[in-house]
Amino acid sequence: MNINFKSKKSKFIIAGVIILGIIGYLTYAGIRDTKLYYLTPTEIVNRGSGVYGEKMRLGGVVTAGSIEYDAQTLTLKFVVTDNTNSLPVIYKGVVPDTFKNGVEVVVEGTYTSKGVFKAVTLLTKCPSKYEPES
Amino acid sequence: MVDLGYFSMLIAVVISVYGIVAAAIGERWNKTELVRSAENSAFVVAGLLTIGLAVLFYSFLTHNYRLAYVASYSSNDLPLVYTISALWAGQEGSLLLWGWLLAVFTVIVILQNRRQNRALMPYVVIVLMIIILFFLILITFITPPFKKLDILPADGQGLNPLLQNPGMIFHPPLLFLGYVGFTVPFAFAIAALATGRLGDIWIRSTRRWTIFSWFFLGIGILLGAQWAYVELGWGGYWAWDPVENASLMPWLTGTAYLHSVMIQEKKNMLKVWNIILIILTFVLSIFGTFITRSGIISSVHSFGQSALGPFFLIFIGVILVTAFGLLVHRLPFLKSTNELDSIVSRESSFLFNNLILIGVAFSVFLGTVFPIISEAVRGVKITVGAPFFNQVNVPIGLALLFLTGLCPLIAWGKASGRNLRINFLSPFIIALAGGVVLFAVGIRKVYPLIAFTLCIFVLSTIVLEYLRGVNARRKMTSENYLTAFTRLIWRNKRRYGGYIVHIGMVLIFLGIAGSAFNAEKEVNMSRGESVRLRDYKITYEKLVSYPTKSKDVVSATLSISRGGKRLGFLSPSIETYKGQGETQTGTEVAIRSSLKEDLYIILAGYKPDGVSASFKLIINPLVNWIWIGGFVLALGTIVVMLPDRREKRRLLIKYSREVFSDEI
């Protein structure tokens, strides 16, 4: 390809490349700065001490009967499982309406050396209907 | 009755296959009657889909739980409006609604083009019918809404209480109008490629469809945001959730398309680009449904998951290969007749606006599918969340806001110093002064400060432009200000309506920028206790509980005052629904809304005797401007869409030759 830097077209190509370059860089830097592992309880347990204190997401199902909520301090304790391994989670804050036994959750926070996952955000998947147990 | 629905779908499948074949043969061997027959078959398909929708509608109204879909999404005690909206609460009904809308749009397109665009129409009909057929196959064979249960349940399972919100009535159908609407310009683009009629006729013919779709997609997104704002657990009005992103992406590319077609109309440039944009917009609409329905990416709004994923993926693949194949085939005929001249010009500022919009769409796409990519490449799921999207999109969004002020007023070809001075010097000074004032009153955060300053800049360019127009009219006609103002808009609806749309967008930006100044607090209060949040004093007065027909309500009362002045009471509550099976709670937030800010209170927990209760208190500054911006945007869009006689006459002159040759 023949690029003549004096031609009109090349000016636009340069401007366009600059814009796309900036957007590309922002995207790259964004991913670099904010990326989080999304792990299951088993994956976290297997990695063990290697991931202590690292910010990550944990996905799984809330074990039935494991929910304890202290309305006074807004502290929620529950267990997340992938049916192979389970992890206790502690979360402080407002609990979404859809949070209950057996629901799929994604929590964001850190896995501590005590084997507890300290969550700062709690997301629940909202099914569009009552899921009948079948 | 129910079987009528199923058989209608089955017959519709057969007839749409016929329509596609008839249109293809009619086009190939120049048989006008066959093309007409294909068009008529589209009418029949639309009729059959109407019957299908009516049957489902009737089944909901009569609580016919023999139908699995009706039993899954409604119950005897469900209020009428939500019984109606349950029609699109699940996948089967949503797809039926989608197919029906597309069939109705197809009928309208055919009626609009009885006497024009005859060369394009066979292909338009083929494309539209193939897409209808895709949805028909899904609702007939894969997830039929007319599936019957073996036993007749006494009551349905009811609609998830979270979906019992006014948002449910409008948000999904309006979003669908947008998604489905983009199919029309897409079909015309494909027809233009297939026939080699690559002028701007296909763009002109679908201008209103494009604006219509863009508008409803945008309003649908805003209504969804409004709903998520009041629904706890959905993370506020915008959480960069994959399902939300899925609706934003086609809106972004659609916005780019809406702008770049103007360059083709005026300058005959960007032909390839426009076709790519409309293909992308349509594919992203389908991709949005794919993300929503396949559950491939985890989302707080994840809908009933299903086996539809592969079907959508294959469909998307086929569309992309066909469309881009055609595009490459026609590439030699898509040369621009003009060249870009200067970097500082209308054309290039539109081009940059396009690049930025596509850049945003790309980064949103990448962030959304990142878990899939990382799992495929490295075997481990890596996600990026709201921080990623904010970090990337805030600066890009600000650049876009700046161009919103620049694009409409910068001169075509090459902007002279004079053009720049006339249009931008005073807005620049006003914005700068505004920025200094904002800085002086204590707004020190960089991005919001830039955002507010740019809002002032864009608004003043628009106000200035209106003033110039009004004054010019007054000089010529001696009308009073109001008449001059309304006539100015009336006589050039596209231009001045477009400015109104821009004002709406600026207000939305303003509201979003306000979120940088949020404040929140989680507190546990004893009865009679007060807390302060910014200048509000909030006192927990009492807790009451009472049952209603369908739920038990626990409601807290808080009195609000500011600077010693009583502002009234707020009552956030927790409702427990008495439905069958597991209990479902719903948290009703209480909001004191004003133009300056919303005070937003959540009841997070309580002691049964009401001695103490926990609350989350949030101040959301300027959030109301997002919704106001939506209204302004709607107003502007209506102006832009109104029929314009002058515009028509101009077009008629420009195209009389082409239309004439079309008739031969």
**Which CATH number fits the domain that encloses residue B544?**
2.60.98
Interface A-B, measured as beta-carbon pairs within 8 A, has a size of 184
Closest CA to B177 of B134, B129, B210: B210
The dihedral built from the CA positions of residue B75, B76, B78 and B82, taken in this order, carries a sign that is: positive
- pLDDT at position B662 is 42
Of A20, A100, A125, the CB nearest to B355: A20
Chosen from A10, A23, A75, A122 to mutate, greatest number of chain B CBs within 10 A = A23
* Domain presence at residue B115: yes
Q: Estimate the crossing angle of helix B493-514 against helix B386-406, to 10 degrees.
A: 140
> Looking at the DSSP assignment, which residues form a beta bridge with residue A38?
A57
Query: CA–CA separation, B491 vs B36, rounded Å?
Result: 37
Tell me if chain A has a CB within 8 Å of the CB of B363: yes
Residues A69, A42 share a domain: yes
Instruction: Based on the fold, state whether residues B373 and B521 are members of the same structural domain.
Output: no
- Assess whether A59 and A78 both reside in one domain: yes
For range B41-46, the mean pLDDT:
98
The pLDDT of residue B52 is above 90:
yes
Outline where B515-575 has alpha helix (H): none
B270: left (phi over 0), alpha (psi -120 to 50) or beta: left
Q: Any idea which residue has 């296909």 for tokens?
A: B202
Same domain (yes/no): A55, A70: yes
Answer yes or no: do A27 and A89 share one domain. no
Contact (Cβ atoms closer than 8 angstroms) between residue B365 and residue A29? no
Range of the domain at B561: 517-624
Tell me if A129 and B89 make a contact (CB, 8 A cut-off): yes
- Please write the tens of the pLDDT for every residue from A96-134: 888 888 888 889 999 998 889 999 999 887 654 433 332
Please give the tally of structural domains in chain B.
Answer: 2
Tally of domains within chain A: 2
Interface TM-score (ipTM) > 0.95: no
Residues 6+ apart with CB under 8 A from B552: B545, B546, B575, B576, B578
- Residue B384 · residue B428 · CB < 8 Å: no
Instruction: Measure the CA–CA gap between B207 and B199, rounded to whole angstroms.
Output: 14
Question: Among the listed ranges B101-105, B111-115, B292-296, B403-407, which one has the minimum average pLDDT value?
Answer: B292-296
pLDDT of residue B582: 64
Together in a domain, A20 and A70: no
Average pLDDT over residues B41-48: 98
Amino acid in position B216: F
Does pLDDT of A61 surpass 80?
A: yes
Handedness of CA B503, B504, B505, B511 (dihedral sign): positive
Test A97 with B298 for CB contact under 8 angstroms. Answer: no
Interface test with A, best of B298, B336, B356, B583 (most A CBs within 10 A): B298
Statement: residue B643 has pLDDT above 90: no
| Co-location of A45 and A24 in the same domain | no
Nearest Cα to Cα of residue A38 among A58, A53, A54: A58
Strand B519-526 vs strand B612-621: parallel, antiparallel, or unpaired? Answer: antiparallel
In a domain, A132, yes or no: no
Chain A environment of B402 (Cβ under 8 Å): none
Residue with tokens 């009841």: B603
Residue carrying structure tokens 């394009």: B120
CB contact under 8 A, B298 and A72: no
Structure tokens at B181: 């609407």
Phi and psi at residue B593, to the nearest 5°: -105, 135
Confidence of residue A5 (pLDDT cuts 50, 70, 90): very low
Domain that holds residue A59: 37-124
**CATH number for position A82:** 2.40.50.140
In chain B, which among 123-162 make CB contacts under 8 A with chain A? 157-162
Q: State how far residue A47 is from chain B, nearest Cα, in angstroms.
A: 12
B396 in Cβ contact with B352 (< 8 Å)? no
The Cα B356–Cα B339 span in angstroms is 21
Whether residue A102 sits in one domain with residue A41: yes
Contact B326, B318 (CB under 8 A): no
Question: Does residue A99 lie within any of the structural domains?
Answer: yes
User: pTM to 2 decimals?
Assistant: 0.93
Q: Are B615 and B603 in contact (CB under 8 A)?
A: yes
Mutate to test the interface with B, among A17, A123, A134 (most CBs of B within 10 A): A123
pLDDT for B235-260, tens place per residue? 689 989 888 999 999 999 999 999 99
CA distance B293 to chain A (A): 11
The residue in chain B having the minimum alpha-carbon distance to the alpha carbon of residue A127 is B303
Query: Does the residue B152 lie in any domain?
Result: yes
Confidence of residue B661 (pLDDT cuts 50, 70, 90): very low
At residue A7, the pLDDT reads: 64
Residue A2 lies in a domain: yes
Q: Is residue A134 part of a domain?
A: no
Q: For residues A46-50, give the mean pLDDT.
A: 84
Q: pLDDT above 70 covers what percent of chain B?
A: 96
Least confident of B407-416, B576-585, B624-633: B576-585
Q: Do A41 and A30 sit in the same domain of this protein?
A: no
Read off the pLDDT of residues B179-219 as tens digits, 9 standing for 90 and up. 999 999 999 999 999 999 888 889 989 999 999 999 999 99
Could you tell me what percent of chain B has a pLDDT over 90? Answer: 71
SS (H, E, C) B61-72: HCCCCCEHHHHH
Check residue B159 and give left, alpha or beta (phi > 0: left; psi -120 to 50: alpha): beta
| Whether residue A106 sits in one domain with residue A43 | yes
CA distance B495 to chain A (A): 27
Q: Do B395 and A26 touch (CB under 8 A)?
A: yes
Residues A58 and A22 in one domain: no
B contacts of A33 (beta carbons < 8 Å): 387-388, 391
- The answer to whether residues B612 and B524 touch, using CB atoms and an 8 Å cutoff, is yes
Taking the CA of residue A60 and the nearest CA in chain B, the distance in Å comes to: 11
Task: For residues B575 and B580, give the distance between their C-alpha atoms in angstroms, rounded to a whole number.
Answer: 15
Angle at A127 between CA A68 and CA A67, to 5 degrees: 5
Q: What is the mean pLDDT of chain B?
A: 91
Per-residue pLDDT, A101:
87
- Best mutation target, A34, A47, A91, to test chain B (most B CBs within 10 A): A34
Q: For residue B615, give both structure tokens.
A: 């609350």
At residue A81, the pLDDT reads 94
User: Letter for the amino acid at B345?
Assistant: S
Contacts of B545 (CB under 8 A, 6+ apart): B552, B553, B554, B555
Q: Give chain B positions within 8 Å (CB) of A8.
A: 339-341
Q: d(Cα B387, Cα B399) in Å, to the nearest integer? A: 19
Same domain flag for A77 and A14: no
Asked if residue A130 belongs to a domain, the reply is no
Distance CA B504, CA B664 (A): 45
How does residue B309 score in pLDDT terms, banded at 50, 70 and 90? confident
Residues 70-99 of B with CB under 8 A from A: 72-73, 89-90
| Block residue for tokens 């209204």 | B631
A63 and A112 within one domain: yes
